[in-house]
């Protein structure tokens, strides 16, 4: 792992980024999105929505965040706040889809939604590449990634207890691990989704 440059500026805290984003400072919103995109996508992914609904829930979460960021009481707990917003967006989508679901559909009218053989092969290849990239992480980041992404709703207090890490270091450690994963996957030619 590369040591941080001692001359490099310290990244702003989440609280500072929230304040800057509320004040419409350039780059603050982009940095918040970069730090928390993976969390939002993981929360939404735990609801196993269809692809279009997944994209809508992620987008709606960020829209609500943009609209209501000024209402966050504890900016250092932005991850928990975004988790709640993402859950509510997923539940709203699920409720809406239940209301819109056709009721009397003949069995022969149903279309099979199974992925085709190409999609299955590509998904398995991507899964293997990610699993291999995770095994190349240093021990603590690898364990943190495993704990965070093997649990549908990771609780930082529980993760802190399990890993012996201060709560405040979980997010930055996670971010560095994901950046290392992105670089490793890019080296082997895998498309990388921002997280």
Task: Please report, for the domain that includes residue 86, its CATH number.
Answer: 1.10.1740.10
Give the integer Cα–Cα distance in Å for 143 and 162: 10
Please state the pTM of the whole predicted model: 0.48
Domain assignment present for residue 111? The answer is: no
Q: Which of 100, 133, 159 is the last residue of a domain?
A: 100
- 90 and 129 belong to one structural domain: no
Question: Which CATH number does the domain housing residue 159 bear?
Answer: 1.10.10.10
Domain assignment present for residue 93? The answer is: yes
pLDDT at 195: 45
Q: Which of 47, 73, 100 is the last residue of a domain?
A: 100
| DSSP 8-state secondary structure symbol assigned to residue 108 | G
Domain range for residue 128?
116-195
- 94 and 128 belong to one structural domain: no
3-state secondary structure of 106: coil
Q: Is 147 exposed, middle or buried (0-12, 13-18, 19+ CB in 10 A)?
A: middle
Q: Give tens-digit pLDDT for 66-108.
A: 999 999 999 999 999 999 999 999 999 888 877 765 555 555 5
pLDDT band at 194 (very low <50, low <70, confident <90, very high): very low
């Amino acid at each position: 792992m590369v040591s941080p440059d001692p001359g490099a500026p310290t990244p702003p805290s989440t609280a500072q980024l929230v304040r800057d984003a509320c004040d419409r400072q350039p780059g603050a919103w982009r940095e918040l999105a970069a730090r928390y995109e993976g969390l939002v996508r993981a929360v939404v992914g735990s609801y196993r929505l269809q692809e279009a609904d997944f994209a809508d829930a992620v987008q709606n979460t960020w829209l609500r965040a943009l609209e209501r960021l000024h209402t966050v009481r504890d900016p250092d707990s932005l991850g928990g706040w975004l988790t709640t917003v993402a859950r509510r967006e997923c539940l709203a989508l699920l409720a809406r889809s239940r209301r819109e679901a056709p009721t009397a559909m003949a069995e022969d009218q149903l279309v099979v939604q199974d992925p085709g053989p190409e999609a299955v092969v590509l998904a398995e290849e991507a899964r293997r590449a990610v699993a291999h990239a995770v095994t190349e992480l240093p021990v603590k980041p690898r364990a943190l990634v495993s704990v965070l992404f093997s649990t549908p709703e990771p609780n930082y207090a529980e993760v802190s207890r399990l890993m012996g890490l201060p709560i405040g270091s979980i997010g930055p450690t996670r971010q560095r691990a994901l950046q290392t994963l992105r670089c490793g996957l890019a080296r082997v030619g895998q498309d990388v989704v921002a997280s």
